[in-house]
């Protein structure tokens, strides 16, 4: 990588400009622009390649049973095409992934683990069969490949990656819950109700069962390793603060997770020869990260086991919590922050307003309708909510593409080292989901007709993934917006090992924006289209 010690390097022109936009561009190449010496003015994106920041793992998506189920409805040739568009070099070429340990809401039927034999503390009945036993043709007659499941999906992705220059796929695994018999409620979850503000529970580990759950997680790693799948990272549990008991879950406080890691999970990983598995604490909404970081990173016995923290985005439909990231990095710079889940959640639960084309939306909704994804049409679980502890102002109607691109750009500009989406594929309704928590996905498929819809989110993620590669280093970027609004334009940048600088710019407005790109002592006049993601690449 270029050792830039001052700003007096000479640039000639941009190397590549890519755009994905509301008007229909999809990773479209635009005309390159020349640089001139001087100081930019007005709207300025100032990139400082000499100010190197965190090493990046790239962009990713997730393996779920629901995604595998939907893909099983395609012919093998069509499924291979979709999988290549996800993991192939000519597709999104994702470099990270998340997978699930047992059941989640995005399981077809839910309510299972890898050892449901009560009090099997030695885990002699442990089996990952649910991840590869497929789906019954009798029960699901439209399925074209009843053997396709989560594990076959992962193996196909790894086979696609194997022949590539960037062949590694860093997989992070998360359990939504321990086997039910290990928990105080002896069930997967206890739902709440509207009458009591949805305050259900997922329960907690029974006292004395922490070691059995730690062994359960290690056994999962062993069994997957035996299948040729190396799990790169692990979180103790998904969303330890709970989900009001709406689906499979299990609670930890910062203090109880701290004890679990230092007394049970960390030692179990080391005893089993898995000290190289990257252990990520937390795995929940960003706003709470600071509290957890101070509890776990300040414990000398715990911190030696930790690689960093995993975060989600559900605390707000527009906030990124970059101030939290900055404070956590300043206090604990040796630990990484990786975003492990984000989605267009509760798709269609509330009737959106301000639809661009109400007639088309009524007929087509979000499926095969790019207008939905590029405009303020999406709502989430807390839209106009009165849930206890939820501020509805943090959850306004929003633009799906903006939520993704803004979150990734601002996150990577503020010490996040990797960013993973949730389900890569769902059906046209945003499922299957065994508790009705329908969500958007980058790729949505009509399981009745086989129609595959690559949403604008897919194209945005593809552009970011193909230009933010593992081993790239984030570099310092500042944006002077002049008379623009604070959310009108966002930018981040990264530098590759072969000195290719990639600048990501998001224009959230309905008008093109002219700005000046300042790199060192030179600048270029650039225009970004209305409602667009632009990637400007410069060979240093």
State pLDDT tens for residues 308-318: 999 999 999 99
pLDDT on residue 6: 54
pLDDT on residue 85: 98
Question: Cα angle at 403 between 437 and 327, to 5 degrees?
Answer: 105
Instruction: Report, as an integer, the average pLDDT of 178-206.
Output: 89
pLDDT band, very low/low/confident/very high, at 356 (cuts 50, 70, 90): very low
pLDDT band, very low/low/confident/very high, at 361 (cuts 50, 70, 90): very low
Percent of the chain with pLDDT over 90: 88
Angstrom distance (rounded) from CA 113 to CA 502:
43
pLDDT band, very low/low/confident/very high, at 196 (cuts 50, 70, 90): low
Percent of the chain with pLDDT over 70: 94
pLDDT on residue 507: 98
> Any bridge partners for residue 71, and if so which?
none
Angstrom distance (rounded) from CA 152 to CA 533:
33
359 pLDDT higher than 50: no
More confident residue, 382 or 19: 19
Q: Kindly state the tokens that stand for 348.
A: 């269609």
Question: For residue 30, which of 17, 14, 47, 43 has the smallest C-alpha distance?
Answer: 17
Sorted by where each starts, the structural domains of the chain and their CATH numbers stand as 16-55+473-539 (2.60.40.1180), 58-344+398-467 (3.20.20.80)
pLDDT band, very low/low/confident/very high, at 491 (cuts 50, 70, 90): very high
Instruction: Report, as an integer, the average pLDDT of 377-399.
Output: 83
Angstrom distance (rounded) from CA 334 to CA 336:
7
Question: Cα angle at 375 between 425 and 22, to 5 degrees?
Answer: 80
Question: For residue 260, which of 224, 227, 302 has the smallest C-alpha distance?
Answer: 302
Angstrom distance (rounded) from CA 102 to CA 150:
10
pLDDT band, very low/low/confident/very high, at 222 (cuts 50, 70, 90): very high
530 pLDDT higher than 90: yes
Torsion, CA 268, CA 272, CA 276, CA 279, rounded to 10: -20
Instruction: Report, as an integer, the average pLDDT of 466-487.
Output: 98
SS3 percent helix, strand, coil of the chain, rounded to 5, is: 25, 25, 50
pLDDT on residue 392: 85
pLDDT on residue 165: 86
Q: For residue 401, which phi and psi values (nearest 5 degrees)?
A: -60, -40
Question: For residue 99, which of 145, 68, 144 has the smallest C-alpha distance?
Answer: 68
* Buried/exposed 508-537: b ≥16 CB within 10 Å, e otherwise: beeeebebbbbbbbbbbebebbebbbbbbb
Angstrom distance (rounded) from CA 63 to CA 224:
14
pLDDT on residue 198: 65
Q: For residue 328, which phi and psi values (nearest 5 degrees)?
A: -65, -40
pLDDT on residue 360: 39
Instruction: Report, as an integer, the average pLDDT of 322-338.
Output: 98
pLDDT on residue 481: 97
pLDDT on residue 1: 42
Angstrom distance (rounded) from CA 400 to CA 455:
10
Instruction: Report, as an integer, the average pLDDT of 468-474.
Output: 98
Give tens-digit pLDDT for 17-43. 999 999 999 999 999 999 999 999 999
Is this structure's pTM higher than 0.85? yes
320 pLDDT higher than 80: yes
Angstrom distance (rounded) from CA 362 to CA 385:
24
Instruction: Report, as an integer, the average pLDDT of 383-409.
Output: 88
What is the chain's mean pLDDT, rounded?
A: 94
Angstrom distance (rounded) from CA 76 to CA 54:
40
Q: For residue 82, which phi and psi values (nearest 5 degrees)?
A: -65, -45
Instruction: Report, as an integer, the average pLDDT of 140-152.
Output: 96
Instruction: Report, as an integer, the average pLDDT of 132-150.
Output: 94
pLDDT band, very low/low/confident/very high, at 2 (cuts 50, 70, 90): very low
pLDDT band, very low/low/confident/very high, at 197 (cuts 50, 70, 90): low
Angstrom distance (rounded) from CA 476 to CA 526:
19
């Amino acid at each position: 990588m270029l050792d830039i010690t001052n700003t007096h390097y000479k640039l000639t022109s941009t190397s590549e400009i890519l755009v994905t936009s509301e008007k229909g561009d999809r990773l479209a190449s635009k005309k390159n622009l020349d640089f001139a010496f001087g100081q930019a003015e007005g709207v300025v994106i100032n990139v400082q390649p000499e100010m190197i920041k965190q090493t990046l793992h790239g962009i990713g998506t997730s393996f779920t049973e629901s995604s595998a189920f939907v893909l099983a409805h395609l012919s093998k040739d069509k499924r291979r095409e979709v999988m290549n568009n996800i993991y192939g070099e000519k597709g999104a070429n994702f470099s990270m992934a998340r997978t699930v340990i047992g059941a989640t809401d995005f399981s077809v039927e839910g309510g299972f683990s890898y050892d449901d034999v009560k009090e099997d503390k030695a885990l002699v009945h442990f089996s990952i069969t649910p991840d590869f036993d497929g789906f019954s043709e009798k029960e699901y007659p439209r399925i074209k490949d009843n053997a396709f499941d989560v594990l076959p999906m992962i193996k196909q992705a790894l086979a696609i990656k194997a022949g590539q220059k960037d062949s590694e796929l860093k997989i992070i695994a998360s359990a939504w819950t321990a086997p039910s018999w290990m928990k105080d409620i002896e069930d997967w979850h206890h739902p709440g109700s509207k009458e009591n503000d949805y305050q259900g529970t997922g329960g907690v580990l029974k006292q004395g069962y922490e070691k059995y759950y730690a062994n359960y997680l290690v056994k999962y790693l062993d069994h997957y390793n035996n299948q040729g799948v190396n799990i790169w990272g692990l979180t103790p549990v998904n969303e330890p603060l709970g989900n009001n008991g709406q689906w499979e879950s299990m609670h930890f406080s910062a203090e109880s997770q701290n004890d679990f890691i230092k007394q049970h999970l960390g030692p179990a990983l080391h005893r089993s020869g898995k000290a190289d598995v990257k252990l990520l604490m937390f795995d929940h909404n960003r706003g709470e990260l600071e509290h957890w970081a101070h509890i776990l990173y300040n414990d000398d016995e715990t911190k030696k086991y930790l690689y960093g923290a995993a975060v989600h985005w559900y605390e707000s439909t527009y906030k990124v919590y970059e101030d939290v990231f900055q404070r956590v990095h300043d206090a604990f710079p040796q630990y990484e922050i990786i975003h492990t889940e984000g989605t267009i959640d509760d798709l269609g639960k509330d009737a959106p307003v301000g639809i661009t084309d109400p007639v088309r939306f009524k007929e087509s909704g979000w499926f095969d309708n790019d207008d939905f994804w590029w405009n303020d049409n999406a709502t989430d679980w807390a839209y106009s909510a009165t849930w206890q502890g939820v501020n509805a102002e943090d959850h306004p109607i929003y633009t799906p593409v903006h939520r993704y691109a803004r979150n990734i750009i601002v996150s990577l500009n503020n010490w996040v080292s990797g960013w993973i989406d949730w389900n890569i594929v769902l059906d046209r309704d945003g499922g299957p989901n065994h508790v009705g928590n329908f969500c958007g996905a980058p790729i949505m498929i009509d399981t009745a007709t086989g129609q595959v819809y690559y949403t604008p989110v897919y194209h945005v993620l593809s552009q970011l993934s193909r230009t933010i590669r593992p081993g790239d280093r984030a570099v310092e970027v500042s944006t002077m917006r002049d008379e623009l609004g604070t959310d009108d334009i966002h930018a981040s940048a990264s530098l590759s090992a072969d000195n290719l600088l990639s600048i990501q710019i998001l224009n959230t407005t309905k008008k093109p924006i002219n700005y000046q790109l300042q790199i060192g002592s030179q600048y270029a006049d650039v225009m970004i289209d209305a409602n667009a993601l632009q990637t400007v690449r410069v060979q240093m």
